[in-house]
Amino acid sequence: MFKSDVPAARLTDTGLYHATQENLFALFRVMAHTLAGSELVETPTLSYHHCFPTNPMFKGVWRTRLLAGDADEAIEQTLAWFRERGAPYVFWWTGPGSTPDDLPERLQARGLLDMAGQMQELAAGIRQTEQGAPCMVADLFEVNEALVERAPPGFLIREVSDAAMLEDFKQVFVETYEIPDWAGQAWVDAALHIGIGATPWRMFVGYLDDDPVATALLFNGAGVASVYAVATLPRAQGRGIGAAITLSPLLDAREAGYRYAVLFSTEMGVSVYRRIGFRMLEARLNRYLWQNR
């Protein structure tokens, strides 16, 4: 069984950036521990996981610490490992601690797509620069709680509790980020496999006059809280809904003892998160998509 998380008491900026990465890595580990048939490999130089849902969040390579002379062979062997398992898509995650320094160039030379432009055909709604996704942090005792109350009348945030709400989550997520249906279906498949309400992450849908318009996913790991899959349909944007559905689950995390929230943002999301009380760190995470052809 995956161990319960312990909230961090006080962290420096270096510790917060470390926690941003480690929260993501903890999510990958808990996926592998709770989804039957999954595989998780961790070595001093590479970590990678393979879970059944068809979404590269469930199949990825991370914490790359390779020597330059070993990198090409290790990359080839790792991609072959996924190929043997029939993985259709894989994310290879990079950050300031990734080595060798030219890892992104080595990955792109093997056909992996960068999030800045090449991947737009698969995720047109995700905007990111070549430098990667900004890492942002917030002290949950200093956030602007009033933003939850400033959402429009008729807006209600509900935690996913049945299959119909799970489908609402998927549809909003897919439409907002213009991703393939299978990418959203993966979160449905994972929740149904583990059990709705039993997943190590919590899923939320925001309804405006009973119409599903927003989503968020809360995961507590590596001593901090984080949100993923934050989405607001274009027709509902600019009304405070995105801030409300981001902040509300994080306030729940604060009640559970968490002081810090971390996330990596799209370029569009930075202004929303700043209004909440997040600030940018001098660090970014990046990911490259491998497609099994």
Which tens digits make up the pLDDT trace of 224-267? 999 999 999 999 999 999 999 999 999 999 999 999 999 999 88
C-alpha separations of 264 from 3, 10, 20, 22, 113 in Å: 24, 20, 8, 12, 19
Instruction: Provide the residue ranges of all domains of the chain, joining segments of one domain with +.
Output: 13-128, 136-283
- Amino acid present at 162: D
Write down the CATH number for the domain with range 136-283.
3.40.630.30
C-alpha separations of 176 from 104, 179, 206, 212 in Å: 28, 8, 13, 12
Q: What is the pTM of this model?
A: 0.94
Kindly state the average pLDDT of the residues 172-185: 96
Q: What is the pLDDT confidence band of residue 121, given thresholds at 50, 70 and 90?
A: low
Neighbours of 178 (CB within 10 A): 14
C-alpha span between 28 and 39 (Å, rounded): 11
Give the residue among 155, 126, 167 at the shortest CA–CA distance from 268. 126
C-alpha span between 27 and 210 (Å, rounded): 31
| pLDDT score for 1 | 38
| pLDDT score for 31 | 98
And the tokens for 17?
């950036």
Q: What is the pLDDT confidence band of residue 128, given thresholds at 50, 70 and 90?
A: low
Segment 11-49, tens digit of pLDDT: 999 999 899 999 999 999 999 999 999 999 999 999 999
Tell me the pLDDT of the chain averaged across its residues: 93
Q: What is the pLDDT confidence band of residue 181, given thresholds at 50, 70 and 90?
A: very high
- Comparing 13-22, 76-85, 113-122, 275-284, the range with the smallest average pLDDT is 113-122
